[in-house]
Chains A and B, each alone.
Chain A
Amino acid sequence: NAGVTQTPKFRILKIGQSMTLQCAQDMNHNYMYWYRQDPGMGLKLIYYSVGAGITDKGEVPNGYNVSRSTTEDFPLRLELAAPSQTSVYFCASSYSTGKNEQFFGPGTRLTVL
């Protein structure tokens, strides 16, 4: 089991560029999440999905979009990148909500210049 994988590990974008952060899990988890983590701050939920075809906004969704066409994949799209989107992005998955732990990927470090 690879668990949760994320690509790329690092990326530098120019202001206004777009990109997609990839996330995949091989644990057959229904729930998937995208977080961002800024230095000295807690993880903030961007978007989450409760199953293929179902997504919902988290605490900080502005500037991002997601889709979930399969159980395994949950890509995060950044349109018109801004310096405020410089952060480390983590994808996570869980079997269910509530009492289940979340499994995190290794993260993508994004810098917008």
Chain B
Amino acid sequence: SQKIEQNSEALNIQEGKTATLTCNYTNYSPAYLQWYRQDPGRGPVFLLLIRENEKEKRKERLKVTFDTTLKQSLFHITASQPADSATYLCALNAYSGAGSYQLTFGKGTKLSVIP
């Protein structure tokens, strides 16, 4: 069966360090992979999208890698700040037929950046 796993439910890191979050998947052939940020009581907010033929994507302090051989994506936040504390969701966009893609979400990793 299809599965998306985000490595841990919670991750605590010290301010200024690099946070690395992992997203592994099985039995998917995603065309795209997206990362979202979700704050308590709010809807998810899109951060980055990476295509299956791209190895790496960057946006300011954020970096995403996508390894279709390992079936894994890594999400990095460099020089982390307490304001980066949130839940981060990995989402796979796989073709579902009739010209449509369906986005399937992982359970998320709750990141806490400690001052």
Which A residues form the contact surface with B (CB < 8 A)? 4, 33, 35, 40-43, 45, 48, 50, 58, 90, 92, 97-99, 101-107
Contacts and interface: CB of A to CB of B under 8 A. Distances in A.
Contacts, number: 54
Contacts of A102: 44, 46, 103
Output the residue of B43, B51, B89, B99 with the most chain A CB within 10 A.
B43
A4 B106 CA distance: 22
Nearest to A41: B107
Interface of B: 4, 9, 31-32, 34, 41-46, 49, 51, 89, 93, 95, 99-108
Contact residues of B: prevailing secondary structure:
strand
Most B CB contacts (10 A, CB to CB) among A99, A103, A106 go to A99
Contacts of A107: 41-43
10 contacts: A33-B103, A42-B89, A42-B105, A42-B106, A42-B108, A58-B102, A90-B44, A102-B44, A102-B103, A105-B43
B109 to A, nearest CB: 11
Contacts of A40: 9, 107
